[in-house]
């Protein structure tokens, strides 16, 4: 479980930085899914709006083509129905299936681990080659929060998830204050 630590006396790169929060826990499937949902929520919202809008346009086109060409009416009604269904239901379902499939593929290679150390300098972690890495605050894009987690966005669609269920209310408030101080809200 993560805990708030006092300044550490570690060797290596982190010795000069005060550890504000240490997180070492297995990544749960629901945290992984919630991280993806939060990271892609604006993109998914606008894709849904676009699909429903195009579906409505197809319904309008079907209404105007109904008397002249019944086959065209069926085509527009079918396409419009599919687009509205995709925008309201199918898109969410397909997104969830894709994320869960990716979760299974990643977990087959190695168990996903949340291993982050939050300091004044940035966030320490490990890359895919298991080498230590420091991500400076100025190299992070922004942060988001929902009822499940804090999500710190990095360039190139990468992100760091800090699930709230691992933190006490006090630590959540301190982390929220630190993120507001260091990063802009997304």
Given a cut of 80, whether residue 97 has pLDDT beyond it is yes
Which range, 13-27, 96-110, 112-126, 135-149, is most confident? 135-149
* Residue closest to 56 by CA, chosen among 85, 95, 92, 91: 85
Q: Which residue has the tokens 């809008």?
A: 53
pLDDT at residue 3, rounded to an integer? 32
CATH class of 19-27+111-182: mainly beta
Rounded CA separation 146/181 (Å): 18
pLDDT at residue 64, rounded to an integer? 84
Write the CB contacts of 80 (distance below 8 Å, at least 6 apart in sequence): 54, 55, 56, 57, 58, 59, 61, 62
Rounded CA separation 18/9 (Å): 9
Helix boundaries (H) for the chain: 29-39, 41-65, 70-85, 91-109, 169-182
Given a cut of 50, whether residue 14 has pLDDT beyond it is no
pLDDT at residue 4, rounded to an integer? 35
CA distances from 108 to 37, 104, 146 (A): 22, 6, 28
Given a cut of 90, whether residue 163 has pLDDT beyond it is yes
The share of the chain scoring above pLDDT 70, in percent, equals 90
Given a cut of 50, whether residue 10 has pLDDT beyond it is no
The share of the chain scoring above pLDDT 90, in percent, equals 59
Give the mean model confidence (pLDDT) for residues 93-113: 87
By three-state DSSP, how is residue 28 classified? coil
pLDDT at residue 9, rounded to an integer? 32
**Two structure tokens written together for 160:** 């760091």
């Amino acid at each position: 479980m993560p805990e708030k630590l006092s300044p550490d006396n570690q060797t290596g790169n982190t010795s000069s930085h005060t550890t504000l929060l240490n997180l070492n826990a297995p990544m749960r499937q629901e945290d992984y899914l919630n991280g993806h949902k939060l990271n892609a929520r604006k993109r998914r919202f606008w894709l849904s709006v676009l699909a429903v809008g195009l579906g409505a346009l197809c319904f309008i086109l079907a209404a105007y083509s109904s008397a002249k060409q019944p086959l065209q009416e069926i085509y527009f009604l079918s396409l419009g129905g599919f687009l509205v269904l995709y925008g309201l239901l199918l898109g969410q379902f397909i997104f969830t299936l894709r994320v869960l499939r990716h979760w299974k593929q990643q977990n087959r290679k190695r168990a996903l681990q949340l291993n982050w150390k939050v300091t004044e300098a940035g966030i320490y972690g490990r890359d895919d080659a298991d080498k230590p890495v420091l991500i400076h605050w100025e190299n992070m894009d922004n942060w988001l929060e929902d009822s499940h987690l804090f999500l710190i966005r990095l360039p190139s669609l990468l992100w760091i998830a800090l699930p709230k269920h691992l933190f006490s209310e006090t630590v959540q408030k301190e982390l929220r204050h630190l993120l507001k101080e260091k990063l802009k809200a997304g």
